[in-house]
C-alpha cells in the first residue's frame, strides 16, 4: 500500500511518458588527470612519508593501541602515531572495492564502486533559508521537510542530514533526525558519529525500521557516517570512535579530511591533496584494523581560502584541480571515492549556481562515486536553501540524462524523415517526430522556456520563485512513510524509552 502511494506520486511527478532510471547511474564522462602518473606517485609516496616520519596525533587511546599492536610507533605523551607503509598497504588490501548500501525499498540499494555516480544533498548546515521564511537556525521542521524533498527525487540516492535541528536538545537530536530519515524516506542514510551512545541508538533504530537483526545488519551497511579529520594530522576522540564503531558494526565510513589550501593544508593543489591523502589513508587504516574488510570510502573535501579574508571559497579553479587530483589518487588506490560540490555564495543567484555546477563538473570529470552537498548549499555550508535545493536537483537530473545512452541507428538518423520534409520546411509532422515527441526530450522541473512575453504575463517570476512553488507542492503532499505501521510503532516505543532513560549526549 505504501509502495502504491509512492508509485503514483512518482508517475505524477514525471508528468510525461519519458521514464529514465535516475536511481542507477554510471558516470559517462571521461576522467581527466591534472597531474602526470609520476607526479601522482610522488604525492602518494610523500603521503606515506608524512605518516611514517611525521605521524598523526590521535586523541583516542583505543585507536593508538590498535595502531601500536599493528606495529606503528606510538608516543603516548604527545599522542603521536607514526604509521609504516606496511600498515597502509595492508589496509588498502582489505578495504572493499565495491560496497552496496541497503535501502528500505525495492530499487533503493545503492552500489558504490568506481564507475558509478551517485548524489547526496547538501549536509550539516546550521541554517535553513527560503524566500518565504527567511534565513533561520535549522529546525526539526526544516529537517523533516528536507527529507520530503530528498525522497521526492530519485537522483538523490541517499539521505543526508541537510540541516542541524537546533530546536532539539543535543542528547535527543539523533532520535528526531534518524526517525525522520527512516520514516519519510526509504533511502540509505547518513548519520552522525557523535559518540558510542548515539551511534548505538542510531543502529538500533535502523534495525527496527528495516526489520533486520544484528547479524544481518553487520554484514550489510544500511547507513554511513562522514569522518572529518582535524587537519592537519589530527583526529579527535569522537571521530576516531566513529571510525571504530562503524567498522565493527559493518556500517560505512567516509574518510574525508577537510583541507583548505593555505589554511589547514599547504597552499598548493599538490600539497593539499597529498596531506588530505595521508590523513584519509590513516583513517582507512584505523578502520580496517578495527575490522578488516569493513565498508569504507575514500573522501576528499579540498578547496582554497579567499586570501583577503581567510574564509573558504567553493567552486574555484583551484578546488576544481584539487578534485581532479584527488580523483587520480582514488584511482591509484582503487577505492570508491566521495567528493563534494557546493557554493560560497550568500544567496541563490547566478554566482551560487555557477560555483555549484563548476565544482560538480570537477567531481564528474574526477570520477567521483558519490557527490556530497549536491543540492542547496550556500555560504560554504552554513545555510541550506530550499530554492537552491530545487534548482540544483534540476542540474542533477540533467546530468542523469547524460548518463543514459543515446543511439544512432538508421531509424535514429532518419534519412526518411529528411526525405519527408521540403527544403525550408519543418519536421513537426514527420513520422519520426510523431513517434517520438512525447519522450524525446527531458522535461524541466523548474526551468521556464516560455518566451519573454508569456513569461512577463505570468508574473516575470525568476527561477527561485518557481522553485518555491515546487518545494511547497512536495511538502504539502500527505506524506506517508514507505514502511509498515508496526515498525514505526516499534521505533517510536524505542525513542520513548531511550528518551525516558535520558537519551545520549554527543561527545567530543
Using rule CB under 8 A, residue 166 touches its own copies: no
| Options 13, 23, 24, 46; binder of its own copies; rule CB under 8 A | 46
Residues in binding contact with its own copies, number by CB under 8 A: 119
Residue count (the chain): 508
Residue 245: CB atoms within 10 A of its CB come to 21
8 Å CB contact between 343 and 352: yes
Using rule CB under 8 A, residue 132 touches its own copies: no
* DSSP-derived 3-state class of residue 137: strand
| Options 25, 227, 463, 481; binder of its own copies; rule CB under 8 A | 463
Separation of alpha carbons 431 and 412, rounded Å: 12
Separation of alpha carbons 79 and 87, rounded Å: 18
Using rule CB under 8 A, residue 316 touches its own copies: yes
Using rule CB under 8 A, residue 345 touches its own copies: yes
Separation of alpha carbons 137 and 383, rounded Å: 9
φ, ψ dihedrals at 141, nearest 5°? -60, -45
Name which of 242 and 366 has its Cβ closer to its own copies: 366
Name which of 71 and 317 has its Cβ closer to its own copies: 317
| Options 11, 93, 307, 473; binder of its own copies; rule CB under 8 A | 307
- The pairs formed by 14-17 with CB atoms below 8 angstroms and a separation of 24 or more are 14/443, 15/443, 16/438, 16/439, 16/443, 17/438, 17/439
Using rule CB under 8 A, residue 331 touches its own copies: no
Separation of alpha carbons 145 and 154, rounded Å: 16
| Options 2, 9, 42, 475; binder of its own copies; rule CB under 8 A | 42
Interface with its own copies in residues 99-118 (CB under 8 A):
none
User: Of the listed pieces 88-96, 183-191, 342-350, 493-501, which binds its own copies according to CB under 8 A?
Assistant: 342-350
Q: At what angle do helices 85-94 and 269-290 cross, to 10 degrees?
A: 70
Name which of 206 and 265 has its Cβ closer to its own copies: 265
8 Å CB contact between 89 and 289: no
8 Å CB contact between 483 and 2: yes
| Options 92, 140, 267, 488; binder of its own copies; rule CB under 8 A | 267
Name which of 336 and 367 has its Cβ closer to its own copies: 367
Name which of 101 and 364 has its Cβ closer to its own copies: 364
8 Å CB contact between 229 and 258: yes
Using rule CB under 8 A, residue 353 touches its own copies: yes
Using rule CB under 8 A, residue 347 touches its own copies: yes
Q: Tell me how far CA of residue 98 lies from CA of 135, 149, 239, in angstroms.
A: 40, 28, 24
8 Å CB contact between 82 and 120: no
Mark 52-81 with x for binding to its own copies (rule: CB under 8 A) and - for no binding.
--x-xx----------------------x-
| Options 187, 233, 338, 373; binder of its own copies; rule CB under 8 A | 233
Q: At what angle do helices 463-476 and 386-403 cross, to 10 degrees?
A: 90
Mark 373-412 with x for binding to its own copies (rule: CB under 8 A) and - for no binding.
------x--xx----x--x--xx--x--xx---xxxxx-x
Task: For the CB of residue 228, give the shortest distance to its own copies in the complex, in Å.
Answer: 13
Interface with its own copies in residues 410-439 (CB under 8 A):
410, 412-415, 417-419, 421, 423-428, 430, 432-433, 436-438
User: Of the listed pieces 92-100, 239-247, 262-270, 471-479, which binds its own copies according to CB under 8 A?
Assistant: 262-270
Q: Which helix (H) or strand (E) holds 110?
A: strand 110-112
Using rule CB under 8 A, residue 276 touches its own copies: no
Name which of 215 and 451 has its Cβ closer to its own copies: 451
Separation of alpha carbons 326 and 329, rounded Å: 5
φ, ψ dihedrals at 412, nearest 5°? -65, -45
Task: For the CB of residue 423, give the shortest distance to its own copies in the complex, in Å.
Answer: 4
Separation of alpha carbons 95 and 98, rounded Å: 9
| Options 132, 215, 449, 501; binder of its own copies; rule CB under 8 A | 449
| Options 223, 227, 247, 269; binder of its own copies; rule CB under 8 A | 269
| Options 9, 31, 90, 94; binder of its own copies; rule CB under 8 A | 31
- DSSP sequence for 350-363: HHHHHHHHHHHHHH
Using rule CB under 8 A, residue 306 touches its own copies: yes
Amino acid at each position: 500500500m505504501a509502495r502504491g502511494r509512492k508509485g503514483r506520486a512518482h508517475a505524477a511527478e514525471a508528468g510525461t511518458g519519458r521514464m529514465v532510471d535516475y536511481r542507477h547511474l554510471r558516470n559517462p564522462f571521461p576522467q581527466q588527470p591534472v597531474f602526470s602518473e609520476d607526479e601522482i606517485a610522488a604525492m602518494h609516496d610523500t603521503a606515506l612519508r608524512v605518516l611514517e616520519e611525521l605521524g598523526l596525533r590521535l586523541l583516542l587511546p583505543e585507536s593508538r593501541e590498535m595502531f601500536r599492536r599493528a606495529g606503528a610507533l606510538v608516543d603516548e605523551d604527545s599522542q603521536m602515531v607514526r604509521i609504516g607503509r606496511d600498515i597502509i598497504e595492508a589496509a588498502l588490501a582489505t578495504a572493499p572495492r565495491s560496497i552496496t548500501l541497503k535501502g528500505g525499498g525495492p530499487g533503493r540499494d545503492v552500489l558504490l564502486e568506481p564507475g558509478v555516480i551517485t548524489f547526496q544533498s547538501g549536509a550539516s548546515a546550521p541554517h535553513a533559508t527560503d524566500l518565504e521564511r527567511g534565513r533561520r537556525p535549522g529546525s526539526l521542521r526544516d529537517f523533516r521537510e528536507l527529507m520530503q524533498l530528498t525522497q521526492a527525487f530519485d537522483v538523490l540516492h541517499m539521505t543526508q542530514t541537510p540541516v542541524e535541528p537546533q530546536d532539539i536538545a543535543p542528547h535527543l537530536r539523533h532520535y528526531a533526525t534518524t526517525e525522520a530519515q527512516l520514516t519519510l524516506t526509504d533511502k540509505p542514510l547518513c548519520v552522525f558519529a557523535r559518540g558510542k551512545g548515539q551511534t548505538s541508538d542510531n543502529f538500533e533504530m535502523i534495525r527496527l525500521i528495516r526489520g533486520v537483526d544484528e547479524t544481518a545488519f553487520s554484514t550489510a551497511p544500511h547507513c554511513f557516517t562522514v569522518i572529518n579529520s582535524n587537519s592537519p594530522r589530527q583526529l579527535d576522540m569522537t571521530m576516531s570512535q566513529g571510525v571504530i564503531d562503524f567498522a565493527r558494526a559493518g556500517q560505512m565510513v567516509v574518510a574525508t579530511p577537510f583541507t583548505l589550501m593555505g589554511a589547514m593544508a599547504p597552499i598548493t593543489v599538490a600539497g593539499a591533496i597529498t596531506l588530505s591523502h595521508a590523513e584519509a589513508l590513516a583513517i582507512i587504516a584505523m578502520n580496517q584494523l578495527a575490522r578488516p574488510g569493513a565498508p569504507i570510502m575514500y573522501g576528499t573535501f579540498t578547496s582554497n581560502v579567499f586570501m583577503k579574508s581567510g574564509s573558504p571559497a567553493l567552486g574555484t579553479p583551484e578546488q576544481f584541480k584539487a578534485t581532479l587530483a584527488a580523483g587520480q589518487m582514488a584511482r591509484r588506490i582503487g577505492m570508491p571515492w566521495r567528493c563534494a560540490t557546493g557554493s560560497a555564495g550568500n544567496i541563490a543567484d547566478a554566482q551560487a549556481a555557477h560555483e555549484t555546477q563548476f565544482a560538480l563538473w570537477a567531481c564528474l570529470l574526477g570520477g567521483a562515486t558519490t557527490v556530497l552537498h549536491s543540492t542547496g548549499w550556500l555560504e560554504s555550508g552554513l545555510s541550506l536553501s530550499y530554492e537552491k535545493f530545487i534548482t540544483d536537483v534540476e542540474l542533477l537530473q540533467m546530468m542523469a540524462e547524460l548518463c543514459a545512452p543515446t543511439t544512432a541507428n538508421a531509424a535514429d538518423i532518419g534519412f526518411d524523415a529528411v526525405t519527408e520534409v521540403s527544403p525550408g520546411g519543418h519536421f513537426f509532422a514527420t513520422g519520426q517526430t510523431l513517434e517520438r515527441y512525447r519522450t524525446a526530450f527531458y522535461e524541466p522541473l523548474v526551468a521556464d522556456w516560455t518566451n519573454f512575453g508569456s513569461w512577463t504575463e505570468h508574473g516575470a517570476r525568476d527561477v527561485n520563485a518557481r522553485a518555491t512553488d515546487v518545494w511547497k507542492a512536495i511538502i504539502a503532499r500527505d506524506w506517508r512513510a514507505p514502511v509498515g505501521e508496526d515498525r514505526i510503532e516499534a521505533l517510536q516505543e524505542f525513542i520513548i524509552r531511550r528518551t525516558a532513560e535520558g537519551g545520549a549526549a554527543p561527545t567530543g
